[in-house]
Every structure is written in C-alpha cells, then in structure tokens.
Amino acid sequence: MGGEWLVPEKARLIEVKNPADGSVLAFVPRGNKEEIDFAVKAAKKAFLSKEWKMFKPYNRGRLLYQVAEIIRENKEELAKLETLDVGKPLGQAAVDVEIAARYFEYYAGIADKILGETIPVEPGIIDYTVREPIGIVGHIIPWNYPLQIAARSIAVSIATGNATVLKPAEDTPLTTLKLVELMEPLGLPKGIVNVVTGYGFEAGAALSAHPDINHITFTGSVETGKRVMESAAQNVIPVTLELGGKSPNIVFADCHEEQALEWVLKSIVQNAGQTCSAGSRLVIEKSIKEDFVGKLSVMMEKLSIGPGIDNHDLGPVLSKKQFERIQSFIELAKQDGIRIATGGERKLVEGSELGYYLHPTILDNVPASHHLAQEEIFGPVLTVTTFETEEEAIEIANGTPYGLVAGVWTENVGRAHRIASQLQCGQVFINHYGAGGGIAQPFGGYKKSGFGREKGLEALRNYTQVKNVALKY
C-alpha cells in the first residue's frame, strides 16, 4: 500500500491453502477497515499528485507494455502459483498467465487513444468533450481467476489514468500479490496500485463503503453484489457488477457434432466448472439428445482427475465449503429422481486425500423450471434439457434469472442469427464457446448476471467520465 509492503501491528493472519491437498501455502494479513482506509488515502494522494497528472498517456502505455513483458518473463512461476492457489490444471493456469499479459498489451495500445468529440452546436461556439479518469477505483477480485481479473483491473485502470485499490479473494490472493510485486521496479508512482488482503465481509465491505472511492468493480455472487450496490449507493458512486450465470449451450440436430461435443465438455470442466461463464446447461434438440449425452458421458469418464500441478484434465474444487455446496445440488437431483448420466461422486486421489475432487457430472432430463436448471452450481455439473422447436429453445435459454453467455450450435446461419438476436445475455458464441479470455470482447451480463462491461474498448466507459466544454468566440 502506498508503495510499501506493510503488515499491521498485531496483525491477524489468514491461512491460504492448496485445494489439491489441504496444505497451507502461505499466511497473509487479515486487513480490515483501517488498512482499507490507509490504502484509499494513499491512492487518493497519488491520483491528485502532480507526478501522476504529468504522467503522459503514452508513458502509461509504455509501462503497461513493460508489465506484459515481465509477466511473460515470469510465466512459469506465475502459472505454478496460480495452480497451487486455485487448484486448476497447470496448462489452464499457463493460459491465464498469457491472458493476463494480453490485458496489459491491449490497454497499453489504448492509453494514448482515449478520445473526445467535437459537437456542432451553432456558429460562434466550439463544443467538445474530453474523457477524464473517474478517480479512485476499488476492485474486489474473485477467487476463481485471480490473476486474469487482477490484470484486467489494473491494466484498464492505469490506461485511463486512475488509481486502484484491489481486494483479492482471501482464498486465492497469491498471484495478485506477486503481480503487484513484479510491477514495483517499473516506475509507477507510489500509491497508484494498492492491494489489501482480507475477508470480504471486513476488507471488501470497507472498500465498497469508503467515501473516497469513485467506482467499484465487483465479480462474485448476486447476494454480495447487492450489498456492494447498497454500500456504493450511500456514496452515490457507480458500480460494475459481474454476478455469475447459468449459461446454455443450445445444440441443434444439424450441428457439427464433434466440435459441439468438444466445446460443451470444455465449457463445463474448465477450472472444475468454477467459472461464471461456464456452459452449465445443455439445451439440446430432442432427436439427438440420447446419442449426444452418451458420447459426452464417455468423454467425461476419460478425463484424468488429480492435482493441478500434475496437469490433470480436472483439478479439485476450491474448498470443503464449495464441495459441499455442489454435493447438495447432486443430492437434490437424487431426491427428485433426476437421472445422473455420469459422475455425481467424490473422487479420492491417492496422496491428496484432503483435496476435494469430483467426477464431472451430467444431470439428464432436467425440467427447465427445476432448481438445478435455474441456479448456479459452480462446479463440473451439467444439466440437460431438451427442446423440439426453435421457439422452445429460445424460451428455455432465456428462462433463468441470469443472462451472461450462450453458445449456439447449428450449421443454419439464418437460425443462428435469429436466435442470437433473441437471447437475453451479454455474449453469444456461434459454433464455439468463450469462457475466460476474449480480451477485446465486451463481457458482462443481462438480468441478475449484473451490468456494465469489462474487457475491450467498452470497459473504458467504466473508468472514465465525460466532461463537455463549450467555448464562445
């Protein structure tokens, strides 16, 4: 914070555990309201400083390019740290590292191209707009993709000239801390980027309620997002919320079956299904359902399961709490007589008995209105619902409280565009599927998936404010 690594006197500590085997990786300070206040004040001082005001946009861009380079120079260490902290396979963590570098590259190229407009008003008046930094930005980082989301938060914030305070998830703070450490020698003014570790109900709540914060970006649950909104409302500041999803892959009989199977599988097992944009619903034409689900089950059963550091196909879920939540949904399926096509059981991994591993699971013939097809499970659990007409497919796809991502699988281009135009979600992928990545593609949701957009040029709207200037001559 404020350019220094500080541990509060009499600091209480948080254990950071390895999901693969339950071992303790590290201890980090349990920051609270006082530490958040210190970090926000440091950010405000830096933001208002002459040094930062004179830090030219192209120099911000050069610095962001340097961050991308230093991430790649340390890619093996960062990938290993992300895997140990989150539990995901090492190959997936390596992709996360590259995506983090790409965020810094992308916004480096934008830093000196944040333009205003001239507006024709009337003769004798020159009217123009400028986009100015919004100020002090608070970022509350989720536990499932900490490096990616910390990178996109820091990169766009610096590119637009803001100062940042990050609160990483208490479960997975290590790569955020390492990223900021790697940035230290690059010449960024002290206090422009600050990190406070701690619990959401303490440090996170204090950040979202702080009167000197000018914008809050939050990724997490709907209930916590509501509390963040309530806190921000007290200070009349904007928020960007990404609150999860129940995203469908809509598969028609004329799909390219091999590609559809591959992506339906990837979109539910990536990071053990702990992905907000996971393709957690298979909405499939009735005539091909039995064959498709049979082949998908076989593919799931062939996946290797074990510690992420050994680069298995599927790592553990994050914690006992997360595992028990997923299991409660599977138990509900059993109670309601829903067929489990494959999976549904814990996987005991020799040498990692304290890790929470789960066989990837398919819940077959789930009614569209059932709790299992409506609520985010956040694990490697796929629900299957059938349709017979295009209209029914759209109704089922739109029939949840969420609206984040959807995939459409058909060789009929007209149908693909018709459906895309009627889906109530922030991203639609036709004959492929995006989970993570997509640096240039605006990302965010409809309905209870939140509002505002991250990624791409659209994200600049969150971190800048428009000033209109009119000169009479």
Contacts for 216 with CB less than 8 Å, ≥ 6 apart: 137, 138, 139, 140, 207, 208, 228, 231, 232, 237, 238, 239, 240
Cα 156 to Cα 73: distance, rounded to the nearest angstrom: 21
Any alpha helices (H) in 423-467, and if so which ranges?
460-463
Contacts for 402 with CB less than 8 Å, ≥ 6 apart: 244, 245, 246, 247, 376, 425, 445, 447, 448, 449
Catalytic residue check, 202 = no
Cα 151 to Cα 68: distance, rounded to the nearest angstrom: 10
* Four-point Cα dihedral 65, 68, 70, 71, nearest 10: 170
Strand order through the sheet with 118-119: 118-119, 125-133, 464-472
In 192-233, DSSP assigns E strands to 193-195, 215-219
The amino acid that residue 338 corresponds to is I
Other residues' Cβ atoms within 10 Å of the Cβ of residue 7: 11
Taking a C-beta distance cutoff of 8 angstroms, is the pair 269, 380 a contact?
Answer: yes
Other residues' Cβ atoms within 10 Å of the Cβ of residue 100: 29
Cα 192 to Cα 181: distance, rounded to the nearest angstrom: 13
The amino acid that residue 359 corresponds to is H
Burial of 421 (0-12, 13-18, 19+ CB in 10 A): exposed
Which candidate in 242, 285, 376, 454 is catalytic?
242
Q: Give φ, ψ of 161 to 5 degrees.
A: 90, 20
Cα 313 to Cα 97: distance, rounded to the nearest angstrom: 18
Taking a C-beta distance cutoff of 8 angstroms, is the pair 3, 176 a contact?
Answer: no
Place of tokens 């701690």: 198
Taking a C-beta distance cutoff of 8 angstroms, is the pair 190, 46 a contact?
Answer: yes
Contacts for 134 with CB less than 8 Å, ≥ 6 apart: 160, 162, 214, 215, 238, 462, 463, 464, 465
Catalytic positions, please?
242
